[in-house]
């Protein structure tokens, strides 16, 4: 949407909020202000991106008001299983969306495109194969995991018996610890995937351990899905029983979730999404997901993902050259973590100060975290959004130096 010089030749968004302002000046004005913030800030939040105008238009289409509880006709051998009439075209749309996502990941897995979010996808995936109280072995939040991977304040930690594997002293997932704990506790599900882990995950080894202990193996690839689609990260397909993802991070789509599963789990997955966890699917968002899938199949998208990874490596290396402690000592994907444990301020302090100068990132826990999750001893930095805006390696090196200048000011003030 925006190029790196913060200019914008499109008119779609401008016309959109101007139109809204005619009916609701307050809402339109707030959207305009957020639009300008996104246009002028340097966006480094690893879980965000800019989607295309085609995706935005699909999400704002007439599908916004169409109810379609249930599933398309193909899933019931020719008879629609919707609970509403008038679904001929959304049936075709939803099946097309499913088929296109299978092409994106070159898989014959069953796919459900209805989850409203990645958290909803994980909720339904657990329900499909687990009972409350069953044991899940996963990565902790402090070590890069997600809230839905067993946090005590989340449904995952409240409904299931959680056990956690650790990272080693360098911050890498400790596969020996994974195997040792799996053999000891015999979990029903082994889960991997992360919201703040910068290295390649060994999917074959996880699958081997899961098979050894008779557990299901699930991958939450929300962060790396775009890199998998672009061929710059190993794929979990063929190894995992279930794969979940969001569509709005490295995939550059709308806010939403997907579930992929081995065909024998299809009925359980679909039932867990509807009617168990959700009502009517958001067909306008499913339309956006379909456009996103089409975009992910293009050569341009594959070049984009290569640039995301190259940019992240250059960005990360610049911080290392300046003497910063980067968790794991580097990155293999679209993000990395700065460990600020030795600095006289928290990750939140740096996040807030950078907001003041137009650089957006987020505080994040680091391995062996000593501060609270509200403060943290680190920050998470991602390259997907600004790569969409045309940034290359030298641009990110310059941003690293800008952040360093802010850090030095904060140290002097402490």
Residues marked active site are found at: 67, 69, 220, 246, 249, 255
CA distance 90 to 65: 12
57, 61, 66, 72 alpha-carbon torsion, rounded to 10°: -50
* Coil, strand or helix at 320: helix
Burial of 133 (0-12, 13-18, 19+ CB in 10 A): exposed
- The residue behind tokens 């002028």 is 40
Beta strands across the sheet bearing 325-326: 325-326, 335-339, 378-382, 362-364
- DSSP notation for 123-160: HHHHHHH--TT-EEEEE-TTTT--GGGT-TTSHHHHHS
Angle between helices 393-413 and 347-356 (to 10 degrees): 110
Q: How are beta strands 216-220 and 189-192 bridged, if at all?
A: parallel
Decide if 58 contacts 291 (C-beta within 8 A).
yes
Q: How far is CA 171 from the centre of its chain?
A: 20
Dump strand ranges (E) for 357-405.
359-360, 362-364, 378-382
Q: Report CA Rg, the chain.
A: 22
DSSP strands (E only) in 71-230? 110-112, 135-139, 161-165, 189-192, 216-220
Closest CA to 100 of 307, 286, 372: 286
For residue 349, the number of C-alpha atoms closer than 13 Å in the C-beta half-sphere is 16
Helices (H), 214-265: 225-229
């Amino acid at each position: 949407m925006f190029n790196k010089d913060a200019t914008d030749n499109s008119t779609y968004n401008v016309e959109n909020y101007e139109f809204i302002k005619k009916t609701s000046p307050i809402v339109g004005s707030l959207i305009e202000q957020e639009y300008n913030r996104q246009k002028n800030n340097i966006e480094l939040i690893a879980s965000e991106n800019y989607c295309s105008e085609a995706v935005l238009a699909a999400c704002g289409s007439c599908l916004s008001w169409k109810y379609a509880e249930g599933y398309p006709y193909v899933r019931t051998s020719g008879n629609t299983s919707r609970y509403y009439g008038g679904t001929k075209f959304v049936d075709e749309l939803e099946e097309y969306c499913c088929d296109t996502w299978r092409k994106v990941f070159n898989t014959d897995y069953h796919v459900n495109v209805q989850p409203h979010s990645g958290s909803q996808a994980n909720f339904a995936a657990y329900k499909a194969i687990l009972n409350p109280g069953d044991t899940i072995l996963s990565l902790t939040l402090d070590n890069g995991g997600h809230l839905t991977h067993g946090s005590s304040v989340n449904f995952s930690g409240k409904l299931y018996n959680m056990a956690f594997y650790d990272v080693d002293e360098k911050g890498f997932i400790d596969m020996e610890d994974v195997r040792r704990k799996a053999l000891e506790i015999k979990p029903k599900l082994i889960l991997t995937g992360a919201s703040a882990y910068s290295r390649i995950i060994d999917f074959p080894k996880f699958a081997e351990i899961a098979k050894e202990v008779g557990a299901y193996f699930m991958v939450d690839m929300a962060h790396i899905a775009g890199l998998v689609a672009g061929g710059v990260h190993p794929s979990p397909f063929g190894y995992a029983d279930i794969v979940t993802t969001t569509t709005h991070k490295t995939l550059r789509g709308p806010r939403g979730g997907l579930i992929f599963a081995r065909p024998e789990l299809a009925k359980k997955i679909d039932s867990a999404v509807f009617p168990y966890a959700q009502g009517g699917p958001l067909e306008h968002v499913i339309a956006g997901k379909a456009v996103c899938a089409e975009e992910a199949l293009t050569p341009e998208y594959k070049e984009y993902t290569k640039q995301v990874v190259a940019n992240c490596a250059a960005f990360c290396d610049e911080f290392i050259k300046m003497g910063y402690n980067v968790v794991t000592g580097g990155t293999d994907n679209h993000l990395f973590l700065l460990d600020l444990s030795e600095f006289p301020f928290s990750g939140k302090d740096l996040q807030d100060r950078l907001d003041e100068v137009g650089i957006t990132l987020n505080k994040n826990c680091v391995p062996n975290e000593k501060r609270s999750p509200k403060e943290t001893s680190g920050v998470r930095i991602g390259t997907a959004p600004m790569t969409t805006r045309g940034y290359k390696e030298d641009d990110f090196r310059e941003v690293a130096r800008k952040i360093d200048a802010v850090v030095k000011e904060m140290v002097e003030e402490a």
